[in-house]
Amino acid sequence: MEGWFLGANYYSIKKENIKTWVAWAFMDQDLETLDEEKVDEVEKLVSTIERYSHHSFPPGRNDNIRCIRLNIDAMQTTHRPWIYYAVCKGIGAIAHICVRALGYYQRSIRLTGTAGDVATFWYRPATRPAHPSAVPVVFIHGIGIGFCQYLAILAQLPRNVPVYLLEWAHVSMQLSEEVPTIEHTLELISCVLTLDSVARACFVAHSLGTVAVSWIIHSSQHSSLVASAVLLDPVNLLLCDPKVAFNFLYRTPANSLELAMNYFVSREMYIANALSRHFHWSRNIMFYDDLPKCENGLTNVVMLSDLDSIVPSERVKAYLEASAAAEGGKGKVPMELIYHTNQHHGQILIRMDRLAEIAKHVGRACGATAVETEPLQSVFAG
């Protein structure tokens, strides 16, 4: 809770402070805009927090502290000249050429539920015989310059299953104001797979892309599409921990790496808009129990980096291991947990030894490589 209040001492938080945070955290609204029914709900939630923490918040408001309210707080952006976006556009275009050289090509599809909008996606058909239990791969990238930083992993995705790529221009440093809604993304994924009569797929996602996996799994209409999941540097696990929001948007840079991430990523206008106005933690979060149950020898994979400056990797690891242990040590979902030591966020995508390992695990997760796995395998990669 102190993290959500930007490091303020827990005992300095007063009743009105915690009510302000609860109104945002559970209702995405400012406390002052709530109707009477929601105000009563806030009171009940505050009472629940007090009961579980064995602490009663004193009446009034402490004006010297403030809380994180991601979708309400002012956006923090840094101006970029036109040439910056021109360069990013050029890099994106070169990345598209490279993606085509890897065997992928763009396809268009007309969405059924959004007034006939036409959407595009990238596709690479299988070029080798598939294992009978194998399923296609759907890859969703994270924040950066589109596919640029993912070319190496895209080259190593299994060749004996079809691969679908989703591209998010709104977090790729492009002049893209439109942020696709959760409903739009779900419809796109559903229509893409239906187009090829695909019933289930293995979803591979990195960083912000992992929240799309949460959306699909939480959707009663689309959850059956997920046969297995490979989550690389996932931001969707333990989102109740403030570290992801704080580190990406509120932290004052303390070293050159954080300074570079702050300027080139966090403060870029379109990325800041996507995160500060369209990131809803309660819909983006994934719990251990949400992971696909998997069948036919498929498995889930979670890869964490111990020096990750965004994801609370150590806590996520402890959470997943404890959740599995609570079910007798086996857990009810097959999962391989890989904890990379001496690695920063995204670093596993640019090291050839790590890329080969990721490709191997993706092959197991989608059934391209038939390997039986225990319900939970925890691996430390030095």
High-pLDDT (> 70) share of the chain, %: 95
Topology of domain 82-381, CATH: Rossmann fold (3.40.50)
Measured N-to-C along each axis, helices 36-53 and 15-27 cross at an angle, to the nearest 10 degrees, of: 110
What is the Cβ-side half-sphere exposure of residue 269, based on CA atoms within 13 angstroms? Answer: 12
Which residue from 152, 302, 336 is spatially nearest to 230, judged by alpha carbons? 302
Measured N-to-C along each axis, helices 210-218 and 182-195 cross at an angle, to the nearest 10 degrees, of: 80
pLDDT at 330: 55
Give the pTM: 0.92
Cross-strand partners of 232: 206, 303
For residues 1 and 118, give the distance between their C-alpha atoms in angstroms, rounded to a whole number: 44
User: Where are the chain's structural domains?
Assistant: 1-69, 82-381
For residues 319 and 239, give the distance between their C-alpha atoms in angstroms, rounded to a whole number: 12
In angstroms, the first-to-last Cα distance of the chain is 33
From first to last of the 382 residues of the chain, give the pLDDT tens digit.
Answer: 999 999 999 999 999 999 999 999 999 999 999 999 999 999 999 999 999 999 999 999 999 999 999 999 999 888 889 999 999 999 999 999 999 999 999 999 988 765 558 889 999 999 888 788 899 999 999 999 999 999 999 999 999 999 999 999 999 999 888 899 999 999 999 999 999 999 999 999 999 999 999 999 999 999 999 999 999 999 999 999 999 999 888 988 888 878 888 888 888 999 999 999 999 888 999 999 999 999 888 999 999 999 998 999 999 999 999 998 887 655 578 899 999 999 999 999 988 888 989 999 999 999 998 544 445 556 666 5
Contacts of 215 (CB under 8 A, 6+ apart): 182, 185, 186, 283, 284
Contact in structure between 340 and 304 (CB atoms under 8 Å): yes
Contacts of 85 (CB under 8 A, 6+ apart): 173, 174, 175
Chain-centre distance of CA 175, in angstroms? 22
Contacts of 293 (CB under 8 A, 6+ apart): 332, 333
**pLDDT tens digits, 190-239:** 999 999 999 999 999 999 999 999 999 999 999 999 999 999 999 999 99
pLDDT at 130: 78
pLDDT at 44: 97
What is the β-pairing status of strands 105-110 and 163-166?
A: unpaired
> Which residue shows structure tokens 């030591």?
341
Alpha-helical regions (H) of the chain: 15-27, 36-53, 82-101, 151-156, 182-195, 210-218, 243-245, 256-261, 269-278, 281-284, 313-325, 352-366
| Helix (H), strand (E) at residue 338 | strand 335-340
Q: Give 3-state DSSP helix, strand, coil % of the chain, rounded to 5.
A: 45, 15, 45
Amino acid sitting at position 174:
Q
